[in-house]
Amino acid sequence: MRRSRLTRLVMVAVVAGVAAAGGIAAAAAQMRFRTPSFGTDLKYDGRFTFVRLRWQGGGGFGRRGGNSDAWNHDYPRAEQHLTRLLKDITYIDARTEGSLILTLDDPELFKYPIAMMWEPGFWSLTDSEAQHFREYLLKGGFAIFDDFEQDQWINYEEQMRRVLPDGRFVKLDATHPVFDTFFRMKTIEFPHPMFGYIPNYYGIFEDNDPEKRLMVIANHNNDVAEYWEWSGEGRFPVDMSNEAWKLGINYMLYGMTR
């Protein structure tokens, strides 16, 4: 999974001028239906592939499929839109014809440096998933957790304790590089799109050392992907949608360069 820092940096060299204010949500509006189909049966070919994590209790769907449950909220338009923007405004060769939905103990997960989970407030782990997910993170994986609020944190933290028993959550502020990897964000405190909560961001670092690699980031009291799914529809303020896009792209770039 690990590649040299130089190799990763070459892969994500930026296109000049893409950070103009107001441009991201407008781009999303123009491209939101550009891809007519979106598959989940992609084979590994070395290109960037968006990975969504699925856990047990997902309603009896296939191992890499599904379209209606907590773990696949916002599917497929959130990742469809994000990967299209990644391809359009960075030099990441992102796959836009589909994404992957993998369980935490799927051996295929180790081929992909970044994985994202929705609704971890309802997440339930098996022992096998806990072990394999731990190995994934310690070997260089970067996991993003989104779309959970208030006391749903309790369940999320309980599950993560099974994955990383010694891991310590650290509250992140806007000075951390994960928020400034590609875009210089105006604010990380853009509100939850549905409930208006002001979010908090928590991370777990390699060896519990904030100077080392961030392995896990949790967007508590936010639903960043809701902005990705719907910003092109005009449901949410443009300024807030732009910050959500910036955050998502920063996350992907961070995961590819650390």
Residue in 191, 199, 185, 200 with CA at minimum distance from that of residue 247:
185
Q: Which is more confidently placed, 4 or 163?
A: 163
Q: Which is more confidently placed, 14 or 185?
A: 185
Predicted confidence (pLDDT) per residue in 97-155, tens digit? 999 999 999 999 999 999 999 999 999 999 999 999 999 999 999 999 999 999 999 99
Mean pLDDT of the chain: 86
Q: Assess whether pLDDT exceeds 90 at residue 34.
A: no
Per-residue pLDDT averaged across 243-257, rounded?
97
Q: How far apart are CA 105 and CA 108, in angstroms?
A: 9
Per-residue pLDDT averaged across 229-251, rounded?
93
pLDDT at 23: 59
Q: For the range 192-201, what are the long-range contacts, defined as Cβ-Cβ under 8 Å and sequence gap of 24 or more?
A: 192/149, 192/221, 192/222, 192/223, 193/223, 193/226, 193/227, 193/230, 193/235, 193/236, 193/240, 193/244, 194/223, 194/226, 195/149, 195/221, 197/149, 197/150, 197/221, 197/222, 200/171, 201/171, 201/172
Q: Assess whether pLDDT exceeds 70 at residue 35.
A: no
Per-residue pLDDT averaged across 20-26, rounded?
51
Taking the CA atoms of the chain, what radius of gyration do you get in angstroms?
17
pLDDT at 30: 47
pLDDT at 13: 36
Predicted confidence (pLDDT) per residue in 71-82, tens digit? 989 999 999 999
Strand 214-220 with 200-205, pairing: antiparallel
Report the share of the chain in percent with pLDDT over 70. Answer: 81
pLDDT at 258: 87
Q: Is 5-14+44-257 CATH 3.40.50.12140? A: yes
pLDDT at 71: 92
pLDDT at 37: 77
pTM score, two decimals?
0.86
Band (56; pLDDT cuts 50, 70, 90):
confident
Q: Assess whether pLDDT exceeds 60 at residue 32.
A: no
Band (28; pLDDT cuts 50, 70, 90):
low
